[in-house]
Amino acid sequence: MMLAWSRREALTAAAGLSILGAATPALAGKKPKDQVVWTFDNLTRIGGVAAHAEGAPKIIDSPVGKAVQFDGVQDVLFVEQHPLAGAETWTFEAVFRPDGGNEAQRWFHLQEMAPEGQPVSTTRFLFEIRTVGTEWWLDAFVTGPGYKHTLIFPDKRFPVGQWFHVAQSFDGKMYRAYVNGVLQGEAEVPFKPQGPGRASIGSRMNKVDFFKGAVHEARFTRRYLEPKRFTGVR
């Protein structure tokens, strides 16, 4: 079943969910102290954190609000924060539109950065996609000391050119991945909290596997959320 995310439109009846737009009660008013929202409506400051762009990503209007569009060739946006550093349980959500492009695209990377003089850290979170023709599927990945796991499901495909909500979460035992609030898969992972770092959007941190499409928003919660609590899902 191919399910697209767009402002004030329902998911298909089979999903049993409805979707609200970006400016919804889910994000309106006072945010919990353990939650951070990044809205991609500029290229210099995201969620109050310093950011800078390389290549030429663009700010666009879309049915879900302002977004940053990436060309799949050279565009990337760096944000100087790892918003889930130190979290023991967590939920990492994003609203994005994949537009085709190369097969492997690492489009949202949270990276632990080692202190100066220490070996480079490989501890990280990643949202990735695989794209073939007019379809894509989700690849969620997390790795750190003593754990490394990929949640990828080539049989669960979605159309390019539409807006989607994706999420990955950890409840203290199980690592899970979702598209439009629908579970894609899960696995038991011995996760340990990650250290401070930074983020890249539009490519992997080392500027490979560029993303073709747009990103509207991300939300980081330092606890596990049930799908009914996801951004815009009710």
The confidence score (pLDDT) of residue 231 equals 87
Q: Where are the domains of the chain?
A: 35-229
The DSSP 8-state label assigned to residue 43 in this structure reads S
Yes or no: domain 35-229 corresponds to CATH 2.60.40.10: no
Q: What is the pLDDT of residues 106-165, one digit of tens each?
A: 999 999 999 888 889 999 999 999 999 999 999 999 999 999 999 999 999 999 999 999
| Burial annotation 180-213 (CB, 10 A radius, 16+ → b, else e) | bbbebebeebebeebeebbbbbbbbbeeebbbbb
Is the model more confident about 23 or about 102?
Answer: 102
56-65, 108-117, 157-166, 169-178: least confidently modelled range = 108-117
Q: pTM value?
A: 0.88
What's the confidence (pLDDT) of residue 160?
98
Q: Give residue-wise pLDDT tens across range 199-231.
A: 999 999 999 999 999 999 999 999 999 999 998
Residue 30 predicted with pLDDT over 70:
no
How far is residue 80's CA from residue 58's CA, in Å, rounded to a whole number? Answer: 19
What is the C-alpha to C-alpha distance for residues 232 and 234, in angstroms, rounded to an integer?
7
Contacts of residue 73, Cβ cutoff 8 Å, sequence gap at least 6: 55, 210, 212
